[in-house]
Amino acid sequence: MTAEYKVHGDVAVITMSNPPVNGLGHATRAGITSALAKALEDAAVKAIVITGAGKAFSGGADIKEFGSPKALQDPNLLSVILALEASSKPIVAAIHSVCMGGGLELALGCHYRVAAPGTQVALPEVKLGLIPGAGGTQRLPRVLGVEAALNLIVSGQPVPSELLAQAPGQKLFDKLAASPESLMDEAVALAREVAAKGGDLPLVRNLPCKHPQGDAYFQFAKNMVGGMSKNFPAPLKCVEAVQAATKLKFDDGMAKEREIFLALMMTPESAALRHLFVAERAASKIPDVPEDTPKREIKTVGVIGAGTMGGGIAMNFLNAGVPVTMLEMKQEALDRGVATIKKNYEAQVKKGKLKQDKYEQRMALLKTTLSYDDLKGADLIIEAVFEELGVKEKVFTQLDAIAKPGAILASNTSTLDVDKIAAFTKRPQDVVGMHFFSPANVMKLLEVVRGAKTGKDVMATVMAIAKKIKKTAVVSGVCDGFIGNRMIEQYSRQAGFLLDEGATPQQVDKAIEKFGFAMGPFRMGDLAGNDIGWAIRKRRATERAEMKYSKTADKLCELGRFGQKTGAGWYDYQAGKRDAIPSDLVNKMIEDHRKELGITPRKISDEEIVQRLVYALVNEGAHILEDGIASKAGDIDMVYLTGYGFPMHRGGPMHYASQVGLYNVAETMKRFARNPHDDANFWQPAPLIQKLVAEGKGGFA
Ligand code: NAI
């Protein structure tokens, strides 16, 4: 049982107690029910207070139960709330800290509510592709008014209790406590007062629910919400459920809410968002690095290189209030780096996203230097110099000579071997990869590259610092390209083969953008610079000569068409504009190349384009799991969702493949292997996929 029961004179106190946030799993629900029964049986008890232990009233449903029969097992949340409503003795909810989802729905089933100031109140179900399913859409509009309730339900965002308490005519809280400390005394006093008064107990279900403009308001709300929630059905369904509250009798509205909730639960969009929720939390955990691993203290940071990446990396730490010393080879490079940082902050100030004094505080944390001596005191030093092993060797040899013992030495390399870099020092246990994505001050993803000798405490520290600078950190082993770029190589290769076989860049981009990617591979190449991939292919040509590529990307670069920065790439660009205009010259170049290869172009369907691009990610992802480069499929999904614009509503490549069914995915791969213009070897389903299919498993664990 995870609810405590205590009697204080004539008031029984039920305390939900299921750390960390008193999630309403089966045991907690059973605990509340049995405590309530005790209180009702005890003639000495005149009133009841329900609250939460520790850091929350209740954070709501137990996500671990989602989709499992346990969630519906009696007592379910609906029946607990009905039991509270039906109590003959007054029940006061004493709300504090966090009151979300099912926690708020439970409070709405109580007769009275007292809230501590500073409580975060939310119905966040929409973020999981759902609507509140235990009366939230029917009761909240009755106490808060239709518009305020709908805003809360559609946004899923928390609102502080004191703000809600100010809403005109609100009946959500009967009282706002003077302080969190006085909450329980005030709730118990109210319980005694209402018990002494007697009379009918107030129920939220009996309150009226109307909007003065009726259907016109809901039409407006649907237009607004529909425009903002492309790809996700839940926000519009929130509007539908609240509208039902204004039109139907309470119990009929509840039935409607349930019907919508259950239908949404079955949607792939909700499955994707629930997967993302779980995968994000799991990504921060490293199987062999326990959570209580001691961490090193990071009070100051050094950044080497003030180029594209160095400046953005420095900003992350300045934003988090951590002093940064940035080192360069020449004063001009430092000045340029600092000017870019200032320009970025000034743009934020101009847009009203950053206050002038905050900007100044952040800049005051930044020091620049040309001397390694100034990095002697740094706790963490991140290198972002040119991508050449020789240059990295120079930097790490110097760092080894000056850095204080215990300092963490990180490399932002995107392709080089972190173990080789670590071997330039006499302290490989302190060396780690921190692979940021460009622009480093904006992109959420951080691949934390664990070298063969990287210390567990270093891994634990870097994961913690990633959280501090608000990154989604995913651990990768050492390999060429780590998780993200190793997979994108296969995706890009397929994009190239598609051109050789008959597609145009615009057709490929359009198909994958329709699938939901923010940008197709060719528009992306033009944005990032086609020369980057060119340089990587040249290097690999000697290392991995057997790898087959379409030559179109090289031919494009030979024409000097590096992308937006040169005014031309796969597409043409007008001066100062970013609109991609299909290029006759490029299309002709592709046709000529096809002729050289002797390929007769064929019409390629959008379905084939999407499958070849996405399944290329999936197959390489499976190899990455087999090789132990990623420890779980969810980590790979996090990389693609936060770093590569994979559509959120599809849940990442590995989740998507699991939804399609691995058997279907494997059969399609085998079909692609028979295409003479593709890479037959690559399309052999990875042994992991074959094994899972043989075991009858539809998806990655
Ligand atoms: P960049 O060329 O813009 O900047 C490199 C900076 O390092 C230059 O300002 C240069 O003066 C400085 N530098 C070179 N040698 C140095 C030395 N010995 N001591 C001090 N400073 C030195 O390059 P970028 O794009 O910032 O890349 C840096 C690193 O980040 C590379 O390892 C790259 O692979 C990696 N990376 C780049 C990404 C990108 O999108 N540009 C994404 C993720 C990682």
Give domain status of residue 584, yes or no. Answer: yes
Select which of 85, 125, 257, 620 is catalytic.
125
**301-310 b/e with 16+ CB inside 10 Å = b?**
bbbbbbeebb
Asked whether 442 lines ligand 1 (CB < 6 A), one says no
Residues in the chain: 701
Give domain status of residue 668, yes or no. Answer: yes
Which pLDDT belongs to residue 212?
A: 92
What does the alpha-carbon distance between residue 649 and residue 268 come to, in Å, rounded to a whole number?
8
What does the alpha-carbon distance between residue 371 and residue 330 come to, in Å, rounded to a whole number?
10
306 CA from centroid of ligand 1 (Å): 7
What does the alpha-carbon distance between residue 513 and residue 449 come to, in Å, rounded to a whole number?
30
Task: Identify whether residues 258 and 307 lie together within a single domain.
Answer: no
547 or 252: whose pLDDT is higher? 252
pLDDT at 584 over 90: yes
Which pLDDT belongs to residue 36?
A: 98
Paired tokens of 401:
């000579």
Contacts (Cβ under 8 Å, ≥6 apart) of 391: 385
Instruction: From the CA of 330, give the closest atom in ligand 1.
Output: 11
Asked whether 445 lines ligand 1 (CB < 6 A), one says no
Give domain status of residue 602, yes or no. Answer: yes
Q: Mean pLDDT over residues 180-195, rounded?
A: 98
Q: Lowest-confidence range among 233-242, 538-547, 634-643? A: 538-547
Asked whether 58 lines ligand 1 (CB < 6 A), one says no
Check which CATH number belongs to the domain holding 376 and give it: 3.40.50.720
DSSP annotation string for 319-333: HTT--EEEE-SSHHH
Paired tokens of 290:
């326990």
What does the alpha-carbon distance between residue 446 and residue 441 come to, in Å, rounded to a whole number?
11
State what percent of residues in the chain have pLDDT above 70.
100
Of 428, 458, 476, the one marking the end of a domain is 476
Best probe residue, ligand 1, of 411, 413, 414 (max atoms within 8 Å of C-beta):
414
Let me know if 125 is a catalytic residue. Answer: yes
What does the alpha-carbon distance between residue 493 and residue 508 come to, in Å, rounded to a whole number?
13
Task: Tell me the per-residue pLDDT of 115-143, one tens digit each, with 9 for 90 and over.
Answer: 999 999 999 999 999 999 999 999 999 99
Task: Identify whether residues 140 and 222 lie together within a single domain.
Answer: yes
pLDDT at 445 over 90: yes
Task: Identify whether residues 16 and 33 lie together within a single domain.
Answer: yes
What does the alpha-carbon distance between residue 472 and residue 492 come to, in Å, rounded to a whole number?
24
User: Based on the structure, what is the number of domains in the chain?
Assistant: 3
Give domain status of residue 270, yes or no. Answer: no
Closest alpha carbon to 446 in 437, 455, 457: 437
Task: Tell me the per-residue pLDDT of 426-442, one tens digit each, with 9 for 90 and over.
Answer: 999 999 999 999 999 99
pLDDT at 342 over 70: yes
Task: Identify whether residues 168 and 247 lie together within a single domain.
Answer: yes
Give domain status of residue 701, yes or no. Answer: no
DSSP 61: S
Instruction: From the CA of 310, give the closest atom in ligand 1.
Output: 26
Task: Identify whether residues 450 and 494 lie together within a single domain.
Answer: no
The number of helix segments (H) and strand segments (E) in the chain equals: 28, 19
Asked whether 370 lines ligand 1 (CB < 6 A), one says no
Give domain status of residue 269, yes or no. Answer: no
Q: Is the ipTM of this complex over 0.95?
A: yes
Main-chain dihedrals φ then ψ at residue 445, nearest 5 degrees: -80, 140
Q: Write the Ramachandran bin of 592: left for phi over 0, alpha for psi from -120 to 50, otherwise beta.
A: alpha
Give domain status of residue 434, yes or no. Answer: yes
Which pLDDT belongs to residue 542?
A: 75
Task: Identify whether residues 30 and 147 lie together within a single domain.
Answer: yes
Tokens 């080497």 map to which residue? 304
Which pLDDT belongs to residue 229?
A: 84
Tokens 């969009």 map to which residue? 269
Whether the CA torsion 177, 178, 179, 184 is positive or negative: it is negative
Query: Residue 28: which domain range?
Result: 3-264
What does the alpha-carbon distance between residue 379 and residue 573 come to, in Å, rounded to a whole number?
45
Paired tokens of 200:
């009918």
CB 92 within 8 A of CB 51: no
Give domain status of residue 700, yes or no. Answer: no
Let me know if 620 is a catalytic residue. Answer: no
pLDDT at 160 over 70: yes
Task: Identify whether residues 361 and 495 lie together within a single domain.
Answer: no
Task: Identify whether residues 94 and 208 lie together within a single domain.
Answer: yes
Instruction: From the CA of 395, give the closest atom in ligand 1.
Output: 18
Contacts (Cβ under 8 Å, ≥6 apart) of 379: 296, 297, 298, 299, 300, 301, 406, 407, 408
Question: How many C-beta atoms surround the C-beta of residue 575 within 10 A?
Answer: 5
Check which CATH number belongs to the domain holding 21 and give it: 3.90.226.10
Contacts (Cβ under 8 Å, ≥6 apart) of 11: 45, 46, 47, 48, 49, 188, 191, 192, 195
1 pLDDT band, cuts 50/70/90, is low
pLDDT at 202 over 70: yes
Rounded to 5, what percent of the chain is helix, strand, coil?
50, 10, 35
Q: Mean pLDDT over residues 147-152, rounded?
A: 97
pLDDT at 543 over 80: no
Q: Mean pLDDT over residues 656-679, rounded?
A: 97
535 pLDDT band, cuts 50/70/90, is confident
Q: What is the pTM of this model?
A: 0.92
Check which CATH number belongs to the domain holding 577 and give it: 1.10.1040.50
What is the chain's mean pLDDT, rounded?
96
Tokens 């008031």 map to which residue? 11
Task: Identify whether residues 579 and 436 lie together within a single domain.
Answer: no
Instruction: From the CA of 337, give the closest atom in ligand 1.
Output: 9
Task: Identify whether residues 509 and 428 lie together within a single domain.
Answer: no
Of 441, 476, 511, the one marking the end of a domain is 476
Of 211, 245, 264, the one marking the end of a domain is 264
Asked whether 484 lines ligand 1 (CB < 6 A), one says no
Task: Identify whether residues 259 and 364 lie together within a single domain.
Answer: no
pLDDT at 68 over 90: no
Q: Mean pLDDT over residues 77-100, rounded?
A: 98
Task: Identify whether residues 233 and 334 lie together within a single domain.
Answer: no
